[in-house]
Amino acid sequence: MAHKILIVDDAAFMRMMIKDILTKNGFEIAGEANDGAQAVEKYKELSPDLVTMDITMPEMDGITALKEIKKFDPNAKVIMCSAMGQQAMVIDAIQAGAKDFIVKPFQADRVIEAIKKTIG
């Protein structure tokens, strides 16, 4: 059975890029969210195998959403997506329980490698 992934990014074209990479590599898209608050709701509703989470978003940022998801499910697998130059935020995210991070612009092989490594 395909692994179900929740894609979280405030930019629709970024979600589309990740969705494209994932579906071409046999993953199933559980759902999408465009901010952290929606991500937490969708995680609880959909129970995805993994979440790709943008760091910088309106309403609730990715690190706050990560912490909320981890409170709800300590075993949640979340990979953070960041733009170049967000190293401090990436460190915060890893300390908050993120499993890995991928840098924008996305390279398909790096996205797949991070997901396979995280899902195990």
Q: Which two tokens stand for residue 23?
A: 């579906």
Domain that holds residue 96: 7-42+59-115
* pLDDT 10s digits, 49-106: 999 999 999 899 999 999 999 999 999 999 999 887 778 888 899 999 999 999 988 8
What is the DSSP code (8-state) at residue 34? Answer: S
- pLDDT at residue number 5: 98
Of 48, 41, 29, whose CA–CA distance to 65 is shortest?
A: 41
- Domains: count for the chain: 1
Residue at 47 is within a domain: no
Residue at 49 is within a domain: no
Residue at 48 is within a domain: no
Residue at 2 is within a domain: no
What stretches of the chain show up as alpha helix (H) in DSSP? 12-24, 36-46, 62-72, 87-95, 108-119
Q: Look up the CATH number of the domain holding residue 70.
A: 3.40.50.2300
Residue at 71 is within a domain: yes
| Terminal alpha carbon distance of the chain | 14
- pLDDT at residue number 56: 92
- pLDDT at residue number 113: 96
